[in-house]
């Protein structure tokens, strides 16, 4: 079973992570009726009981222990959350907000599952990368190694962070390099929240560009997401649901954005709905690796198929359907609608329009009672309206997982390697240059030892190179497919 | 004489299950037209070929299941056990945890050598269980990582270790519009390697089988299990015991050998395909009647026009070779397979080579393969060998 370790960095990363664990538990509880620890759960959870509290660099372990499981299974695999958080207030080593989620047996779903998530928070200050990276390097490394040792076969690290803040972007990207050195064979999937237009962090362009450089070099695969699109999606859902246009076919609360049915109700925080979308993205991404299906797709297949050149590893994602339908028997029209929606720009989790840009590769991960003929039919239908790069005209990867997400009868996650990420990067660069030209706020960064202006210029040039590559691909957009001469051999 | 089946990857395992199921249910079906003694002889022959006996009478399939991740194998094993009529040997499977990531290089250069010993051990155990061993039947797909990469590696090893037995590889040609993005690369590499080490390549295309399901069997929502059942049906009709041409009292003792003898006259021409009539859903069976002559006529038409099914035949006639055919009795389905200048297949292969060529020109995805030791020269080698095959077929 493929096991993954999730690393949540920064406030943003942590909040998304919390939602992720809630939803993951909810999903496994729904699928795994007997509450027995099985292979599917083993991808993210470890079947152990003890908790370790350290000081300084603290870790938390997510565990599911169930009474039956202990008798029948030997402890198998593991998952660990490392959480570092930054609080703008002072003092290091203050532990804030120990949140414990304890699920008691016999609670509504009557599962014999008890999960204890302990989240311990370590507090850092702004420039996470240089100072805290090096300061806590050893401790962090130790925790990572420990977590990896618990796994039978560790396949993937999931890193969740934001690009605009300090800890998320700084320490998060420092971790990337460390993971690459320490575990070169394990893929690194990064979910990055890019800063949107109105941002509350003024120096976010600096943070983002510096982080981009690291992402370019050390990440295997990046899923960029931005807050503005998430917000738009939420408002759209609210609008549709509240306007009553869809009548009784749509349930009042979309299960994609709500955590209802989760094993414990937390306070509703303002970013909850948006975080839930990202959490669902991660769940759907790993669904084919965790559950059975007629055409499985593992995590390493994602990077194998969707990353044609090592530099171009930014994947735009979209999730459909967003509403929960009450009617379980979905007519094929709705199914087709789901596929069309996945390619519309309203459903993308990044502000981008993939239909009008060039596709390098596209993956469709379908969950639920959808068969291969439906997928084929929709690919045939949608292909003429999408532009694929000349050397990859049939660049589709499909995967079918038979277990649908909670509350839906089927769902689709589309991952596209598309040149439509280019405008986001260009905008980021522009905002950076505006600040940089005036050297605004620069002294804060230069005060940190090890930072020099050359870091900034390097970062910008690396981003420019990336944009250049996308430009080159775009230039080939409307060229006809070349017919290369075949190898001729002497008979 | 017995055949040992090696099922590789998700595709191989799913199809393998359907094949064994179909073989067993066919041999036990109550619709036979012959007398009881004949039925029993047929059953015994079929059983000996594909299953070995166990104490409590449940036949165990002579198969080795290999996959790099555990989900599919556990599913297959449980489905077989659930059917109650047969099952897989308990230790006949080999699986790892991490999968091959659709990467031929990973399957061939990393997983293959690493697990060579365990896999070959399993195969050896199965072979030793057979009284008289006829050959290997290897089921794999070409688009993925395990089936294609490890399949090529295992076939090569079998060639080295069991050079006297015959190997028939059943390969699945992926959908034209892509199931896996790097399927062209994987297919080219697999084909070129298999051509050197296998004795016969039986090709099935997902596209064609899909069409059969859609048009002839009227299935609305085609799933992979439907496709696999059609495939199993076709394979079953090849492998069920048949009378030999000389005497009509004994079943053919050496199925693989006979097939190869007739169909692979020259080691350069190894690719086979199956045409099978009739295909229809269970519901329509009650409403149709067949005559032997009618079926034969259909088959001949399909062959001349190189069509894969009875309907929608395109009548541009291309000259073709015909070889001797083997007819089977005892089942409602007959089969003929010919080794023709498989123009269709050659064209498909040509297109595949071309699209892989284009991809290679832009060096797309190559870094994923060089990570595991497959260099550009290997690609070049594969291209050249396949071009040769295409050329020799065209020369026919």
Looking at the predicted structure, is the pLDDT value of residue A57 above 60? no
Q: Which of B71, B175, B367 is facing A292, going by the closest CB pair?
A: B71
DSSP characters over B274-330:
-EEE----HHHHTT----HHHHHHHHHHHHHTT-SSSSS-----------------S
Is the separation of the CB atoms in A123 and A92 below 8 Å? Answer: yes
Statement to judge: residues B290 and B267 lie in one domain = no
pLDDT interval class at A465 (50, 70, 90): very high
pLDDT digits (tens, 9 = 90+) for A321-341: 876 654 445 566 678 888 898
Contact flag B101-A301 (C-beta cutoff 8 Å):
yes
In the 8-state DSSP scheme, what is residue A168?
I
For residues B162 and B290, membership in a common domain is answered with no
**DSSP state letter for A355:** G
Quick one: pLDDT band at residue B138, thresholds 50, 70, 90? very high
The two tokens of residue A72 are 């029948």
pLDDT at residue A314 in the model: 93
Cα A301 from Cα B20, distance rounded (Å)? 30
- Structural contact between residues B369 and B270, judged by C-beta atoms closer than 8 angstroms: no
Mean local confidence (pLDDT), B163-186: 82
Inspect the interface and report whether the beta carbons of A394 and B387 lie closer than 8 Å.
no
pLDDT at B62 > cutoff 50: yes
What are the start-end ranges of the H helices in A291-361?
299-306, 332-342
Lowest mean pLDDT among A226-230, A459-463, B267-271: B267-271
CA atoms in the 13 A half-sphere facing the CB of A421: 27
Q: pLDDT tier at A256 (50, 70, 90 boundaries)?
A: low
Last residue of a domain, which of B313, B329, B362? B313
How sure is the predictor about B292, in pLDDT bands with cuts at 50, 70 and 90? Answer: low
Same domain (yes/no): B157, B193: yes
Residue numbers in A near B387 (CB within 8 A): 486-489
Report the interhelical angle of A453-475 vs A204-218 (nearest 10°).
70
- B389: in domain: no
* Cis-peptide, bond into residue A321, ω within 30° of zero: yes
d(C-alpha A451, C-alpha A438), whole Å: 18
Contact call for A309 and B367, based on CB within 8 A: yes
Within 8 A of A397 by CB-CB distance, chain B residues are 102, 178-181
Domain limit, last residue, from B274, B303, B326: B274
> A62: pLDDT confidence band, cut at 50, 70 and 90?
very low
**pLDDT single digits (tens) B227-266:** 888 888 888 777 776 655 444 445 555 667 777 776 676 7
Q: How high is the pLDDT of residue B152?
A: 92
pLDDT in tens, B16-53: 999 888 888 877 765 555 667 777 777 777 777 788 87
**Residue B204: φ, ψ to 5°:** -125, 135
* Residue B342 maps to a domain: no
Q: Which parts of A232-343 are beta strand (E)? A: 316-320
Q: What is the pLDDT of residues A391-428, one digit of tens each?
A: 777 778 889 998 888 878 888 999 999 999 999 899 98
Eight-state DSSP code of residue A250: B
Same domain, B103 and B44: yes
Contact yes or no for A229/A193 (Cβ under 8 A): no
Report pLDDT digits (tens) over A148-176.
Answer: 777 777 888 888 888 887 777 877 788 88
Instruction: Quote the mean pLDDT of chain A.
Output: 70
Same structural domain for residues B110 and B212?
Answer: yes
Mutate to test the interface with B, among A40, A183, A375, A376 (most CBs of B within 10 A): A376
* Partner residue facing B182 (CB), from A296, A304, A372: A304
- Domain membership flag for residue B242: yes
Tokens 């497919």 -> residue: A481
Whether the per-residue pLDDT at A65 is higher than 60: the answer is: no
Do A40 and A31 meet the contact criterion of CB atoms below 8 Å apart? yes
Q: Determine the 3-state secondary structure of A332 from DSSP.
A: helix
pTM over 0.90: no
Given a contact cutoff of 8 angstroms between Cβ atoms, the answer to whether A262 and A103 are in contact is no
Summarised one tens digit per residue, pLDDT across range B64-104 is: 998 888 888 888 888 888 887 888 887 888 888 777 788 88
Residues B225 and B301 in one domain: no
Count helices and strands (H / E) in chain A: 15, 14
Residue bearing the bigger pLDDT, B161 or B345: B161
User: Could you tell me what percent of chain B has a pLDDT over 70?
Assistant: 69
Mean pLDDT of B353-368: 67
For residues B222 and B304, membership in a common domain is answered with no
pLDDT given for residue B344 in this prediction: 46
Residue B348 lies in a domain: no
Task: State the DSSP string of B338-379.
Answer: -----HHHHHHHHHHHHHHHHHHHTTTTHHHHHTTT--HHHH
Question: Has residue A348 got a pLDDT over 70?
Answer: yes
State whether A373 and B358 contact (CB < 8 Å).
Answer: no
| Cα Rg, chain A, nearest whole Å | 23
Q: Are residues B159 and B302 in the same domain?
A: no
Query: Among B254, B274, B294, where does a domain finish?
Result: B274
Per CB-CB distance under 8 Å, the chain B contacts of A395 are 178, 181
For residue range A127-145, what is the model confidence (pLDDT) as tens digits?
445 555 566 677 777 777 8
- pLDDT tens digits, B312-341: 444 433 333 222 222 222 222 333 333 333
The closest of A269, A249, A386 to A328, measured between CA atoms, is A249
Choose, out of B15, B97, B395, the residue to mutate when testing the contact with A (most A CBs < 10 Å): B97
Question: Do B170 and B251 share a domain, yes or no?
Answer: yes
Q: How many residues does chain A have?
A: 491
Q: Which domain, by its residues, includes B23?
A: 2-274
The set of residues, in sequence order, having a beta carbon less than 8 Å from that of A353 and lying 6+ positions away, is A345, A420
- B323 within some domain: no
Contacts of B266 (CB under 8 A, 6+ apart): none
Stretch 308-347 of chain A: residues touching chain B, C-beta under 8 Å: 308-310
Enclosing H/E stretch for A436: helix A422-437
The answer to whether A4 and A78 are in contact (CB under 8 A) is no
Q: Using a pLDDT cut of 70, give the percent of chain A over it.
A: 67
Please state, rounded to an integer, the average pLDDT across all residues of chain B.
Answer: 74
pLDDT tens digit sequence for A19-36: 887 787 778 777 766 544
Q: What pLDDT sits at residue A221?
A: 92
Within this chain, do residues B112 and B93 fall inside the same structural domain, yes or no?
yes
β pairing state of A358-368 and A387-388: parallel
Q: Do residues B235 and B292 both lie within one domain? A: no
Q: Concatenate the DSSP letters of all residues of B94-118 into one string.
A: EE-SS--TT-HHIIIIIIHHHHHHH
How much is the pLDDT for B318? 32
Instruction: Please say if the pLDDT value at position A464 is more than 90.
Output: yes
Q: Is residue B384 assigned to a domain?
A: no
Three-state secondary structure call for residue B263: helix
Residue B124 maps to a domain: yes
pLDDT level of residue A102 (50, 70, 90 thresholds): very low
Does the pLDDT of residue A260 top 60, yes or no? no
Q: Are strands B275-277 and B334-336 parallel, antiparallel or unpaired?
A: antiparallel
- In this model, does residue A197 exceed pLDDT 90? no
pLDDT for position A115: 24
Sorting pLDDT into bands at 50, 70 and 90, what band is B143? Answer: confident
Do residues B220 and B288 share a domain?
no
Residue B161 sits in a domain whose CATH number is: 3.40.50.1440
Alpha-carbon gap: B396 to the closest alpha carbon of chain A (Å): 13
Contact between B190 and B104 (Cβ < 8 Å): yes
Q: For chain B, what is the domain count?
A: 2
- Chain B nearest C-alpha distance from A396 (Å): 5
- CA dist A328 and A319 (Å) reads 19
Q: Flag whether B145 is in a domain.
A: yes
């Amino acid at each position: 079973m493929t096991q993954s370790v999730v690393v949540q960095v920064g406030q943003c990363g942590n909040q998304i992570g919390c939602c992720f664990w809630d939803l993951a538990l909810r999903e496994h509880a729904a699928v795994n009726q007997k509450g027995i620890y099985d292979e599917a759960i083993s991808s993210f959870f470890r079947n152990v009981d003890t908790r370790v509290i350290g000081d300084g660099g603290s870790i938390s372990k997510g565990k599911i222990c169930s009474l039956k499981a202990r008798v029948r299974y030997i402890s198998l695999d593991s998952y660990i959350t490392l959480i570092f958080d930054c609080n703008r207030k002072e003092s290091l080593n203050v532990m804030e907000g120990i949140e414990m989620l304890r699920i008691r047996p016999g609670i509504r779903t009557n599962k014999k599952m008890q999960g204890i998530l302990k989240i311990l928070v370590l507090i850092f200050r702004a420039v996470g990368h240089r100072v805290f990276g090096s300061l806590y390097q050893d401790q962090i490394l130790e925790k990572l190694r420990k977590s990896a040792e618990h796994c039978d076969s560790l396949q993937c690290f999931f890193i969740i962070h934001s690009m605009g803040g300090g800890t998320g972007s700084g320490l998060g990207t420092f971790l990337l390099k460390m993971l690459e050195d320490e575990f070169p064979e394990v893929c690194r999937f990064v979910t990055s929240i890019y800063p949107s237009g109105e941002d509350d962090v003024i120096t976010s362009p600096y943070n983002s560009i510096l982080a981009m450089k690291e992402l370019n070099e050390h990440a295997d695969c990046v899923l960029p997401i931005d807050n503005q699109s998430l917000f738009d999606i939420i408002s759209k859902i609210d609008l549709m649901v509240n306007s009553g246009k869809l009548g009784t076919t749509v349930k009042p609360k979309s299960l994609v954005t709500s955590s209802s049915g989760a094993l414990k109700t937390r306070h509703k925080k303002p970013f909850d709905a948006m975080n839930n979308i990202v959490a669902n993205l991660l769940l759907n991404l790993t669904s084919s690796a965790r559950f059975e299906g007629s055409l499985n797709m593992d995590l390493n297949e994602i990077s194998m198929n969707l990353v044609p050149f090592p530099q171009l590893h930014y994947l735009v994602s979209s999730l459909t359907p967003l509403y929960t339908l009450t009617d379980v028997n979905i007519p094929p029209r709705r199914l087709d609608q789901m596929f069309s929606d996945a390619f519309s720009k309203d459903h993308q989790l990044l502000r981008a329009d993939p239909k009008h840009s060039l596709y390098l590769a596209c993956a469709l991960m379908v969950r639920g009672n959808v068969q291969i003929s439906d997928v084929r039919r929709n690919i045939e239908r949608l292909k003429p309206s999408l532009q694929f790069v000349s050397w990859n005209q049939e660049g589709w990867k499909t995967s079918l997982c038979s277990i649908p997400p909670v509350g839906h009868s089927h769902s689709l996650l589309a991952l596209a390697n598309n040149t439509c990420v280019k405008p986001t990067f260009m905008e980021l660069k522009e905002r950076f240059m505006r600040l940089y030209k005036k050297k605004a706020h620069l002294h804060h960064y230069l005060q940190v030892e090890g930072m020099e202006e050359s870091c900034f210029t390097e970062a910008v040039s690396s981003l420019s190179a990336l944009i250049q590559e996308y430009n080159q691909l775009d230039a080939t957009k409307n060229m006809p497919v070349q017919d290369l001469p075949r190898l001729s051999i002497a008979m | 004489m017995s055949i040992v089946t090696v099922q590789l990857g998700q595709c191989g395992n799913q199809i393998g299950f359907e094949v064994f199921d179909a073989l067993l249910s066919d041999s036990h079906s109550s619709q036979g037209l012959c007398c009881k003694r004949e039925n029993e002889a047929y059953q015994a022959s079929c059983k000996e070929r594909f299953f070995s006996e166990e104490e409590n009478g449940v036949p165990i399939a002579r198969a080795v299941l290999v996959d790099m991740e555990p989900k599919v194998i556990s599913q297959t094993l449980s489905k077989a056990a659930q059917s109650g009529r047969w099952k897989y040997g308990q230790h006949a499977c080999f699986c790892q945890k991490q999968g091959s990531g659709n990467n031929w290089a990973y399957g061939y250069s990393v997983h293959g050598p690493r697990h060579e010993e365990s896999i070959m051990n399993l195969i050896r155990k199965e072979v030793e269980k057979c009284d008289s061993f006829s050959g290997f039947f290897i089921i794999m797909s070409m688009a993925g990582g395990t089936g294609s990469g490890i399949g090529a590696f295992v076939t090569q090893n079998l060639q080295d270790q069991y050079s006297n037995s015959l190997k028939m590889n059943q390969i699945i040609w992926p959908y034209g519009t892509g199931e896996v993005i790097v399927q062209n690369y994987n297919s080219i590499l697999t084909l070129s390697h298999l051509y050197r080490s296998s004795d016969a390549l039986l090709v099935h295309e997902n596209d064609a089988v899909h069409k059969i399901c859609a048009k002839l069997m009227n299935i609305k929502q085609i799933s992979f299990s439907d496709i696999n059942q059609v495939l199993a049906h076709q394979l079953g009709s090849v492998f069920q015991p048949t009378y030999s041409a000389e005497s009509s009292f004994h079943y053919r003792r050496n199925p693989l050998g006979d097939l190869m003898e007739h169909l692979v006259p020259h080691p350069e021409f190894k690719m086979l395909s199956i045409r099978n009539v009739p295909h229809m859903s269970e519901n329509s069976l009650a409403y149709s009647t067949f005559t032997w002559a009618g079926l034969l006529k259909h088959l001949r038409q399909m062959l001349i026009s190189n069509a894969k099914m009875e309907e929608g035949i395109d009548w541009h006639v291309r000259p073709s070779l015909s070889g001797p055919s083997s007819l089977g009795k005892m089942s409602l389905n007959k089969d003929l397979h010919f080794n023709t200048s498989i123009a269709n297949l050659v064209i498909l292969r040509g297109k595949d080579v071309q699209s892989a060529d284009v991809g290679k020109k832009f060096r797309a995805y190559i870094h994923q393969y060089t990570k595991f030791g497959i260099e550009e020269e290997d690609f070049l080698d594969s291209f050249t060998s396949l071009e040769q095959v295409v050329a020799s077929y065209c020369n026919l």
